[in-house]
């Protein structure tokens, strides 16, 4: 593991005995150069070693807390609509993600607009609101980290196209998302045309 103090994160550069992302996670797009699959492999190994039960299709709705804000558990709603209360033995960890797909929260906290998600529309700030409901204080909500990109031309796709190190990555991703759009040209021709257009400005 290598850490980057400036950005307070960690990077898993190697998982001993495991170096084939496509074999175990064929749906991952990052390939060998990405590190997301190493993180997932590390998590799965630790979950299996500790015999932890993983429940999918559970939507957390609210924290269960005492009057003095001691968190006792979480109320979930399963895929059949049933409300299920789960008692915590040692604590509750809120892995909240962001709120870049919540227009109301973006308008409240962020000074710049527009800011569009690049990967998922599921980051709607639900965990943040759950913490607020029992009195949690918020800090640093104005700050976000991202990259410059382009709004996707099809309004039905609420994502942006981000420029990656591989300058053709964005175009390939766009073709996978919406291959039937009109006026589509081959990637190499489109990139050459874009480069020529930029060179004339």
What are the tens digits of pLDDT across the range 32-71? Answer: 556 778 888 889 999 999 988 888 888 999 999 998 889 9
DSSP letter for 58, please: -
Kindly list the domain boundaries of the chain, sorted by start residue: 1-54, 162-196
Q: What is the pLDDT of residue 8?
A: 56
Number of residues written out for the chain: 201
Q: Is the predicted pLDDT of residue 169 greater than 80, yes or no? A: no
Query: 192 falls in which pLDDT band (50, 70, 90)?
Result: very low
How does DSSP assign 100-147, residue by residue? TT-HHHHHHH-SS-----SS-S----HHHHHHHHTT-----TT-----
Task: Tell which wins on pLDDT, 164 or 25.
Answer: 25
């Amino acid at each position: 593991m290598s850490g980057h103090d400036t950005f307070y994160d960690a990077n898993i550069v190697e998982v001993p005995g495991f170096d084939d992302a496509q074999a175990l996670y064929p749906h991952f797009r990052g390939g060998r150069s990405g590190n997301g699959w190493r993180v997932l492999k590390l998590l799965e190994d630790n979950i299996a070693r500790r015999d932890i039960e993983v429940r999918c299709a559970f939507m957390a709705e609210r924290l269960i807390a005492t009057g003095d804000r001691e968190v006792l558990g979480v109320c979930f709603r399963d895929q059949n609509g049933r409300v299920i209360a789960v008692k915590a033995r040692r604590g509750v960890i809120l892995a909240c993600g962001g709120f870049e797909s919540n227009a109301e929260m973006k308008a409240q906290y962020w000074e710049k607009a527009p800011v569009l998600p690049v990967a998922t529309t599921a980051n709607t700030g639900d965990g943040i609101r759950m913490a607020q409901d029992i009195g949690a204080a918020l800090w640093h909500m104005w700050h976000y980290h991202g990259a410059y990109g382009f709004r996707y031309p099809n309004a039905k796709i609420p994502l942006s196209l981000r420029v990656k190190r591989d300058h053709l990555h964005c175009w390939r991703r766009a073709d996978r998302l919406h291959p039937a759009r009109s006026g589509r040209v081959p990637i190499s021709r489109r990139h050459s045309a874009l480069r020529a257009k930029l060179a004339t400005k």
